Structure 1
Amino acid sequence: MKLSLFSTLSLVSIAARAGASSSPTSCGNGRTASIATCCIWYNVLDDIQDLFERQCGDDAHDALRLSFHDAIGFSPKLNSQQKFGGGGADGSLIKFAATELADPSNEGLESIVFAEKDIADKYGVSYGDIIQFAAAVSVRNCPGGPRISFLAGRPDAIQAAPAGLVPNPFDSVDTILARVQDAGLTSDELVSLLASHSVGVQEHIDESIPGTPFDLTPGVFDTNFYRDVLLPGFIIPGPVLGFGFTLHKGEVQAPFIGEFRLQSDFALARDPRTASRWKSLGSSQSLMQSTFATAMAKMALLGQNAGTLYDCSSVIS
């Protein structure tokens, strides 16, 4: 299905109506779900939380990153050229890990890919489902993280996503916007999704300083990321030595010691097509939370037929 720019909320409503029951189903241990097929996700939840250690740590960050990298592997443009454009949020990054992990854009996802694969295989859930479920759980583990709706029932991926569909931090704004818009996301939704950087860290652009956060409150889902990126910085295409530090391709000098600034974030914060949304998110925690949740829910449906899925959002507290 080619997901156009219509409301995610309408998709969620369709799926919820299709799978809702008149009364909750008992899943045991005092847990309930809207339908019996959602009960298995409580078992998955327990294992995911054991993996995350119930924290907003490295594995949780990786799970959030994996959800985007899997879902963005979707190109109606390629489909229109009679080429395979990827299945979107279909779990291909797990099912065809040998192929997709060879893409440099997916560097660093190996550990979370195989950890989630083990859990999915244990409970017989699809790879596409566990990727989006784990991401929604990871967000809730972070202080300030909103609830993300979760629809289950994605079919297995049929083929690896084509290489080159994941935007890179050294791409131009034109290239990044064209890529996400081809996948079915608006420029505003992209900016909202970048709220994930508020709890993320960089590991592989500059491997001499792994674990460097994108703002000074790592592990907290807050607006500091958006405000910090608006502060002055400068770009040196690199690596180039200057003023006692080295900047790497894709990096901008951050105004605070201990922060890492991506060139793409710096550029998106200032581009006339995205600057207004960027500034608005930097000034409103509630807007950042709500728009991120909506954009994540939409992203999780890229390439999917929402009418065949069922709502298990209540499993995630």
Structure 2
Amino acid sequence: MNDLSKRIAQEDHPDDGDSPPVLIGDLKEGITTPVGQIIANILLKTESAQSQVTGYLPPLLGTDKCKKDTCCVWWYISAAMTLAFKGPSGRCNKNARQAIRLGFHDAGTWSQKLADSGQDYGGADGSIVLSGTEIHRAENNGLQDIIGKVKVWQKTFKVGMADLIQFAAIHAVVSCPLGPRTRVFVGRQDSSRAAPDGLLPDVNAKADDLIKLFEEKTISPHDLAALVGAHTTSQQFFVNKNRAGDPQDGTPGVWDTLFYNQTIGTGPLPKKVFRLPSDIVLAKDPRVKLEWDQFAGPNGQNHWNEDYAQAYTRLSLLGVNNINGMTECTKVLPGAQPSFKGALELLIDQ
């Protein structure tokens, strides 16, 4: 871990009012493996959720050596996703944007409150694809194309759908210039049982409702501020159909902090940028504003990248109850791209 990531990972935020982070899944019953300890450290914010470890050379796909190496097949999946997620200008494209959204929409359908009442299902289990019904929910409109792609990848590479969705979301982020290289853990259990409805955020919700919704997923306002920054690469198609395709900041193919500035009205705001009502109310809420302003300020990129990686690691493991048995495969990801020429150009790669 570099010094900056370590500082951010261990940074204390006494003014944000967040409760201390908690463990989730089977980690609550005990940490029994080295990987379980790593994930616990990330969840408790004592270890970086980013890694720049590269150099992995896999055995040939389909060989016995590859089959015995959990990460081998993921290297080949990573290669396929790199081709799918990069546009001709080097920015991340619509496939990447949809993959990020798909990861959120599968994992976000879990609640600690419901789990405590005996409904411990949903979350990062692949059910958004495998149930056959979740995709028809209104909040999942626009995900049909990327679901078609992950189905092909699953058929080709024969891996779990839950892992594939979360791997795609993490890969898509690092495919975007400036995006963090979030650590990858595989081994989730798939489920075809439809997740509980009503657990994804409403674009017109009040800040209180949004914060409560995420706190019931063990996600603090601090982490919510980081996660909502994924809108830096998003485009809206259904909130206002007259402005379908409009991005949420001026550089939707680059993972930069311009979203945080433009949502609160600082800096130039291109006419094409469409600000979501939920983003605007969160940015103003005192429980979120401190982090929001820090992400928007000088050196906000590194701070946000680490906070996002930590928060997304938590999100990507909601509803997962075999965390101790997972395997880290970060080494198969492409390298991060910490700079990008022409990053401020309003250009959307399709």
Q: TM-score, normalised by structure 2?
A: 0.74
Unaligned runs of at least 5 residues, structure 2: 1-19, 39-54, 335-350
Aligned to 1:260: 274
Quick one: which of 27, 30, 54 aligns to 2:58? 27
State how 1:223-238 maps to structure 2 within 5 Å. Answer: 223-231=257-265
The answer to whether structure 1 residue 39 and structure 2 residue 75 are counterparts is: no
Task: Assess, with a 3 A threshold, how the Cα gap between structure 1 residues 144 and 255 changes in structure 2: closer, same or farther.
Answer: closer
Structure 1 runs (4+) greater than 6 angstroms displaced: none
SS in 1 for 2:58: strand
Give the partner amino acid of 2:174. R
What's the Cα RMSD here?
2.7
Match of 1:139 among 158, 163, 173: 173
Which residue does 2:35 correspond to in 1? 15
TM-superposed deviation, 1:25 = 7.7
Match of 2:45 in 1: none
Alignment-mate amino acid for residue 316 of structure 1: L
In 1, the alpha carbon distance for the partners of 2:213 and 2:34 equals 27
Query: 1:208: how far off?
Result: 2.1
1:292 aligns with 2:308: yes
Q: Percent identity?
A: 31
Secondary structure at the residue paired with 1:56? coil
Count of matched residue pairs? 282
Question: What is aligned with 2:114?
Answer: 78
- The CA distance in 2 between the partners of 1:6 and 1:218, in whole Å, is 33
Q: Which runs of 5 or more structure 1 residues have no equivalent in the other structure?
A: 19-23, 233-253
Please tell me the residue identity of whatever aligns with 2:323. Answer: A
Give the counterpart letter for 1:5 in structure 2: P
Deviation, structure 1 residue 270: 0.4
Moved more, 42-51 or 104-113: 42-51
1:49-100 Cα distance to aligned partner (Å, 9 max, x none): 3332465000100000111111111012123333x3433111111111x310
* Match in the other structure for 1:271: 285
TM-superposed CA distance for 1:47, in Å, is: 2.3
Distance in 1 between residues matched to 2:94 and 2:159, nearest whole Å: 24
Could you give the per-residue CA deviations for residues 208-241 of structure 1, whole angstroms, max 9, x where no partner exists? Answer: 2222111112211111110111118xxxxxxxxx
Partner of 1:117, secondary structure, is helix
The equivalent of 2:337 in structure 1 is none
3-state SS of paired residue (2:159): coil
CA distance in 2, matches of 1:26, 1:277: 39
Contact residue 203 and residue 276 of structure 2 kept, 8 A: yes
Aligned partner of residue 183 in structure 1, secondary structure: coil
Q: Aligned partners of 1:259, 1:270: CA distance in 2, in Å?
A: 19
Contact 2:186 2:326 in 1 (8 A): yes
Q: Does the Cα contact within 8 Å between 2:56 and 2:332 map onto a contact in 1?
A: no
The Cα of 1:26 is off from its aligned counterpart by: 5.1
Q: Which has the higher strand share?
A: 1
Does 2:122 align with 1:87? Answer: yes
Q: TM-score, normalised by structure 1?
A: 0.82
> Does structure 1 retain, via aligned residues, the 8 Å contact 2:92–2:172?
yes
C-alpha distance in 1, partners of 2:58/2:250?
41
Q: Return the match for 1:51 from 81, 84, 91.
A: 84
1:64 has 2:100 as partner: yes
Residue in structure 2 matched with residue 251 of structure 1 by the alignment = none
